[in-house]
Amino acid sequence: MLRKSGTQRRQPPLWRRCRSLRQIKQVHTLLVLRGFLSDPSALRELIFASAVAVRGAIAHAYLVFDQIPHPDLFMYNTLIRGAAHTATPRDAVSLYERMARRAGGGGVRPDKITFPFVLRACTAMGNGGTGAQVHAHVVKAGCESDAFVKNALIGMHASCGELGIAGALFDHRAREDAVAWSAMITGCARRGDICAAQELFDGCSVKDHVSWNVMITAYAKRGEMTRARELFDKVPERDVVSWNAMISGYVRCGSHKHAMELFEEMRYMGEKPDVITMLSLLSACADSGDLDVGRKLHSSLSDKFSRSGFTVVLGNALIDMYAKCGSMKSALEVFWVMRDKDVSTWNSTIGGLALHGHVPESIDLFKKMLKEKVRPDEITFVAVLIACSHGGLVDRGREYFNLMQQQYRIEPNVKHYGCMVDMLGRAGLLKEAFEFIDTMKVEPNSVIWRTLLGACRVHGEIELAEHANKQLLKARSDDSGDYVLLSNIYASAGEWLESEKMRKLMDDSGVNKAAGRTVVDDSRKDLMH
């Protein structure tokens, strides 16, 4: 039997015990009850948990930080670090500026830990001007010789196009550091100078994982998959970033088969796919309409996230995949099991239901969205207007079009106008549709005129069709479908001479003859995308 120790077993750091925003809030509440400012160490850990350890909790880190009268250096550095890795890196620079201002009045001063994160934010923003100012602060603080700071400076200047300054920093000492080489290579690649990046890569004797992955990613993003594959096959040791670069590259190029084959090889080699991998593959399934593979991916994700539930990003990708593959039942199942939803979650589901003809369900979900106080955006209204168009709900469509402007202050764009024209056209209200076009605040594009031309064909309105066709040919005169559609309208009305004239005009104009294309259907798809 073990004897009891005289000292209590030390608890792991607070931030390691926080796995979710909910747990962070619970700890925050506990600190408030004990005296919020009484334990600076616990406050540091709470900020670290919110800003760094738990993804998506940085807003809470700002809330905690703003309640501390005199944040210390660790708190500043931690929050700047977290902000630099978000989609709004400008926040990191703002924090740094706030820190620098207070330093003049006796506050904490930035150190060699601060600068790499601020410079990363400048790099992400592509803001060389701000980066140059931070560089001046680095020199003043005497931190330019620090290896981490210097590498961050090299990467920032190279990425922002100041290759001369980056090259001057890339001195003999820096050339012995694989990270410095990676910074130079990454900077050139981000600027799109693939030749300079390749030259540096070839001359680098200490290539690290980052260098290999940067080059593979650079070629994959340019669509040069043969060259990317050559490097991928040569890389000494692949990691998940290497695999993701290739898989996403194949997906972007439309080579979905290669992407899936590489995914299978990835799993065979024992490399675990991450969220980026799955998002790329779900996108491939959505684009290719491969529902069977999509279901398999969903199954593997369900096994991985059985306890925590899908993240919003993964849930949205699954809904999008199922909607594009035509399985709205599965899309709705994902929607209802998601614990957290954002506006994109609602938009994808409402839009998917609308496009597949489930009009009442689409409208009901939109109403539920409003009831739950989720603010709709311009995409939401495109989706719900499509539902009204498909369901022939003209009055409801007018109501939502006005609601968008009057209550939510969203100015209609060409897609909203296109949906309204499509709705009026389908309902046979062609004169009203033409009058509506006259009231538009934006110039009607070829999609709108083609939509109206298709409606004229359905309802046999030859005179209005002629007007629509004239406007359409002004907007776009290189599409044979525009001529064919009016020719067919004449033919369906028995106007064979006029029909033949349109065919001859098409031949004389030398327009593109895209075989097998359904003009009206294409127009309706364009309204959503």
Q: How far is it, in rounded angstroms, from Cα 179 to Cα 185?
A: 10
CATH number of 412-529: 1.25.40.10
pLDDT at 512 over 80: no
Q: Residue-wise over 182-220: b if at least 16 C-beta within 10 A, else e? A: bbbbbbbbbbebbebbbebbeebeebbbbbbbbbbbbbb
What 3-state class would DSSP assign to 427?
A: coil
Q: What is the reported pLDDT for 485?
A: 52
Amino acid occupying residue 395 = D
Measured between alpha carbons, how far is residue 421 from residues 394, 396, 455 in Å? 11, 14, 9
User: pLDDT of 384-435, one tens digit each?
Assistant: 999 999 999 999 999 999 999 999 999 999 999 999 999 999 999 999 999 9
Amino acid at site 31: L
Say if residues 118 and 83 touch (Cβ distance below 8 Å).
Answer: no
For 217-265, how does the pLDDT look when each residue is reduced to its tens digit (9 = 90+)? 999 999 999 999 999 999 999 999 999 999 999 999 999 999 999 999 9
**pLDDT beyond 50 at 5:** no
**Residues 474, 467: contact at Cβ < 8 Å?**
no
Question: Containing H/E element for 263?
Answer: helix 256-268
Instruction: Fill in the DSSP letter of residue 53.
Output: I
User: What are the distances in angstroms from CA 420 to CA 15, 139, 408, 436, 447?
Assistant: 52, 60, 18, 8, 12
Reported confidence tier of residue 201, pLDDT bands at 50, 70, 90: very high
**How many Å from the N-terminal Cα to the C-terminal Cα in the chain?**
70
Integer Cα distance of 132 and 93 in angstroms: 13
CATH architecture of 208-273: Alpha Horseshoe (1.25)
Token representation of residue 149: 């700071």
- What are the boundaries of each domain within the chain? 13-64, 208-273, 412-529
Q: What is the pLDDT of residues 351-384, one digit of tens each?
A: 999 999 999 999 999 999 999 999 999 999 999 9
Any residues with CB less than 8 A from the CB of 427 and at least 6 apart, and which?
392, 394
Do the two domains 208-273 and 412-529 of this chain adopt the same fold? yes
- In this prediction the pTM is 0.72
Q: Are 502 and 490 in contact (CB under 8 A)?
A: yes
Q: What would the 3-class secondary structure string for 148-166 be? A: HHHHHHHHHHHHCCCHHHH
Which amino acid is located at 341 in the chain?
A: K
pLDDT tens-digit profile of 442-451?
A: 888 888 888 8
Instruction: Say which range, 18-22, 143-147, 400-404, has the weakest mean pLDDT.
Output: 18-22
pLDDT at 502: 46
Contacts of 480 (CB under 8 A, 6+ apart): 506, 511, 512, 513, 514
Using pLDDT thresholds of 50, 70 and 90, give the confidence band for residue 308.
Answer: low
Of 4-8, 21-25, 340-344, minimum mean pLDDT range = 4-8
Mean pLDDT of 135-161: 93
Six-digit token string for 333: 């199942």
What percent of the chain is predicted at pLDDT more than 90?
A: 57
In tens, the pLDDT along 496-505 reads: 444 444 454 4
Examine the pLDDT at 517 and tell me if it is beyond 50.
Answer: no
pLDDT at res. 194? 92
